[in-house]
Structure 1
Amino acid sequence: MTRDAFLGGRLTLSQPRNGFRAGLDSVLLGAAAPAGGTALLDLGAGAGAAGLTALALGRTDRADLAERDPAMQALARNNVDENGFSGRASVLEVDITARADARRAAGLMDNRFDTVIANPPFFAARRGTPAPIASRAEARHMEAEALELWVRCAAASAAAGGMAIFIYPAPGLAALLAAFDRRFGALHLLPLAPRPGMEAMRILIRGRKGSRAPLTLMATRFLHDDAGHGFAPEFEAIFRGQAALDW
């Protein structure tokens, strides 16, 4: 295990040294949650980085972390306690791709959350390079059909008028957009690129349950400036825990 600081030290997480590890995507996802939330669900939460980021930045009053892997559940519970969120966060032992009745039996109720966030596995099974650690492979690889199940779970878990936010690699946008378009309206797409002049590598998508408002494609934002290795001021402030993602 390692113990890693996020948000300029406002959040410290235990993670597997060689398994799936939270990084910039998890922080951006948590920072993308809208302000004023009361109940947030983090699907496939792992060690809890995204959901706890949303809590640490004051984006939600409470966070439920849904995770199916027992080892990661234990880490998430430890991270909840170690960061002082034991009264505001809980870990749900649930497979979010399971049938609705199985999810409910595990404590994941329908129509409950005003915000649902997720960083789904992003390589379709049998594509890319398989991860050597089993837990990391599960977190990075899945059948294409499973993305549909993740979005389905998000739609079932969101309250009427609630919002779902996913972060996903740009090459998978078509499948992600198709799954969202069947269940959410008022879709907003925010492309994220490393630098000006470079292709987007990640997409943030958000949608509102029950809305029929049209899609909005937002201007690409760049994590770094033209030169140097530092982050652009907007993202530097996020990663230091001084700001949320305004979009």
Structure 2
Amino acid sequence: MSLDQPSEFVKHQTLTRDAFLDGRLTVSQPRNGFRAGLDSVLLGAATNRACTTLLDLGAGVGTASLVSLAHNAALNATLVDHNQDMMLLAKDNIAVNDFANRAITMVLDVAAKGAVRAAAGLKTDYYASVIANPPFFVETEGTLALDPGRAGSRHMRADLLDLWVKTAAASAAPGGEIIFIYPLDSLGALLAAFEQRFGGVIILPMSPRPGEPVTRVMIKGIKGSRAPTNMLAGRALHGPTGRGFAAEFDAIFRGRARLVW
């Protein structure tokens, strides 16, 4: 899809063109509904620099993958999402940012059975890095968003989270890394799903400011590892006062550094 020849979805949506990494990336996304932001940049910047194959589960418009591709010239990415309209936008974003020769999109339900994933072309035991920012409200909690795109990006049944981790485990190469970003209040279920399948699990808690409660976590596991789980010291996105980001995160959001953990 080109935004010059929009789909019916785009015709009925107002799109914004947003700059990431200090303008190195331009991402088109719907003005209303779920929008890529800080979590997507953190996720894309958290991958191992040595990885050459990336799988982005629930990729949306592709921001996390684009960040990884911008950081790693040797990387090839596969973006998967059940929402065809988001995948059309992701495909356009890939082209606009000159990554068409290094990234592909795939319309597929992340929680689909293995046979369905295989039929769609998703590889098993293949990807050196698998990343995801899954929907995080179960259907019985929170307020369901009125916009279908936003609801689909933020809400799913509680049992589906384990299926997302299962798909990540099946897709990752032996020794590959699996990285999710998620709200703290759902860490228990996510950690249980990771520890059932991976070793060397690392949890990185993040808070808005020093001394404030943790709001989000990044969690990484290694396929085939038997190393124990480790929780790192928490990190604050902002300084004690003001709106600016802490130096570490400011460098990440400007594309000058990767997330080191």
User: Contact conserved, 1:37 with 1:59, CA < 8 A, in 2?
Assistant: no
**Counterpart-to-counterpart distance in 2, 1:60 and 1:211:** 25
Query: 2:256 maps to what in 1?
Result: 242
Note if 1:180 corresponds to 2:221.
no
**Counterpart-to-counterpart distance in 2, 1:200 and 1:31:** 20
Query: 1:192 maps to what in 2?
Result: 206
Aligned residue among 113, 127, 135 for 2:127: 113
Query: 1:32 maps to what in 2?
Result: 46
**Counterpart-to-counterpart distance in 2, 1:28 and 1:89:** 19
Shift of 1:20: 1.5
User: Contact conserved, 1:64 with 1:90, CA < 8 A, in 2?
Assistant: yes
Aligned residue among 39, 61, 68 for 2:82: 68
User: Contact conserved, 1:13 with 1:49, CA < 8 A, in 2?
Assistant: yes
SS in 2 for 1:9: coil
User: Contact conserved, 1:36 with 1:59, CA < 8 A, in 2?
Assistant: no
TM value normalised by structure 1: 0.98
**Counterpart-to-counterpart distance in 2, 1:207 and 1:213:** 10
Query: 1:14 maps to what in 2?
Result: 28
Note if 1:4 corresponds to 2:11.
no
Aligned residue among 91, 95, 105 for 1:91: 105
Aligned residue among 156, 179, 188 for 1:142: 156
Note if 1:47 corresponds to 2:61.
yes
User: Contact conserved, 1:112 with 1:158, CA < 8 A, in 2?
Assistant: yes
**Counterpart-to-counterpart distance in 2, 1:57 and 1:160:** 23
Note if 1:77 corresponds to 2:118.
no
User: Contact conserved, 1:125 with 1:142, CA < 8 A, in 2?
Assistant: yes
Shift of 1:59: 7.4
Shift of 1:60: 5.4
Aligned residue among 122, 138, 143 for 1:129: 143
Aligned residue among 210, 225, 243 for 1:229: 243
**Counterpart-to-counterpart distance in 1, 2:34 and 2:242:** 28
Note if 1:157 corresponds to 2:196.
no
5+ residue gaps, structure 2, are 1-14
Question: Residue type matched to 1:202 in 2?
Answer: R
Note if 1:216 corresponds to 2:235.
no
How high is the sequence identity, in percent, across the aligned residues? 55
Shift of 1:58: 1.6
Question: Residue type matched to 2:137 in 1?
Answer: F
Root-mean-square deviation over aligned CA pairs: 0.8
User: Contact conserved, 1:55 with 1:61, CA < 8 A, in 2?
Assistant: yes
Question: Residue type matched to 1:163 in 2?
Answer: E
TM value normalised by structure 2: 0.93
User: Deviating runs (4+, > 6 A) in structure 1?
Assistant: none
Shift of 1:36: 1.1
* Number of matched pairs: 247
